[in-house]
Amino acid sequence: MGRILAIDYGIKRTGIAVTDPERIIATGLTTVATPTLLQFLHDYCQKEPVDIFLVGQPKHMDNTPSQSARIIEPFVQQLAQAFPDKEIARIDERFTSKLAFQAMIDGGLKKKQRQDKGMIDQVSATIMLQDFLRTQ
């Protein structure tokens, strides 16, 4: 069984989280510069089996797509073309950044560490992945 890899896509940088091979534990993997994301995913999939890409789906409170959705949808299409053998699942990503920031506070990270936006993106991807695992 392959891993599930979560993607918190952003214009400048993208947070990545991944499950263990048994799909029990979600762990933050890294944050990558968005222009290098597809190459990173190709390289990672060469080393580790991945069955599912989980991509955040930004929505407003009324469940309509947010403005960020226009940026993410072309990426999802590129991802599907680059990895036709992989499933792409979507998950609501509302509040993940706020939850990530709170998790960093609860985890005892100092203010300087909490200002690392890359860390917030990575933790957001982990939260999305944990939510996805919980619903499976």
pLDDT digits (tens, 9 = 90+) for 46-102: 999 999 999 987 755 566 655 666 788 999 999 999 999 999 999 876 555 555 555
Domain extent, residue 18, equals 3-135
pTM of the model: 0.82
What pLDDT digit, counting tens, does each position of 105-128 carry?
555 555 555 455 656 777 788 888
Nearest partner of 93 among 135, 58, 123, 126, judged by Cα: 58
Structural domains in the chain (count):
1
Instruction: Identify the CATH number of the domain in which residue 53 sits.
Output: 3.30.420.140
Return the pLDDT at 63: 61
pLDDT, tens digit, 9 for 90 and up, residues 25-52: 999 999 999 999 999 999 999 999 999 9
Q: Edge-to-edge strand order for the sheet containing 50-57?
A: 26-33, 13-19, 3-8, 50-57, 87-92
